[in-house]
Amino acid sequence: MAYKITYKQRALCEAYVRYNGDARMVAEELGMKSVSNVYSLMKNEACQKYLKMLNSIKETIAKKALHYSLVESFNNLVKVQKLALEKKKTIAGKFGIYKCEDADLGSYLKAEEMKGKLAGLYGKEEDKKPVTVMNIIRYDDKNKVKSTSKGDEEEK
């Protein structure tokens, strides 16, 4: 694919992709005086197309290099949960050594939370709404409202 851009624009685009869009680093590498020079050179339509192509190539290479998917991540979290529940504790006593269950519920719950996030079950921060918990504490992200179980007193 031929792009009608200058050698300087080509080097600029390649550095921009290499530094993940850090214009300061690009300007420093190419000896430019300011970051605004980086953006002004990249306004060219052909430069934008070349940049888009470079980014798609970078993504393709990253996917091939990583070989990791959402399914693999989810399956690994399932394994971690299983291990957390199967954890055993060894106790040395008067009459010998005993193994008893010592499930790590903290790790189990953290893995469960991460699975939910991976599956997209939890909304964004903006989607949070006030929630009443056990009719004792009301949580509101914006106002930090606390109320009693009957709702008689509220502190804002």
User: 136-148, pLDDT tens digit by residue?
Assistant: 555 555 555 555 5
59 and 23 in a common domain:
yes
129 and 113 in a common domain:
no
Domain boundaries, position 151: 125-155
* Structural domain count, the chain: 3
11 and 62 in a common domain:
yes
133 and 98 in a common domain:
no
61 and 32 in a common domain:
yes
Give the SS3 label for residue 97: strand
82 and 62 in a common domain:
no
Tens of pLDDT along 71-98? 888 888 888 888 888 887 777 778 877 7
13 and 56 in a common domain:
yes
87 and 59 in a common domain:
no
pTM over 0.85: no
Give the SS3 label for residue 102: coil
In a domain, 1, yes or no: no
45 and 26 in a common domain:
yes
CB contact at 8 A, 42 and 7 = no
Instruction: Using the predicted structure, report yes or no on whether residue 1 has a pLDDT greater than 70.
Output: no
Tokens of 47: 């430069």
Provide the sign of the torsion angle of the four alpha carbons 109, 111, 114, 120, taken in this order: negative
Predicted local confidence at residue 143, as pLDDT:
57
3-state helix, strand, coil in the chain (%, to 5): 55, 15, 30
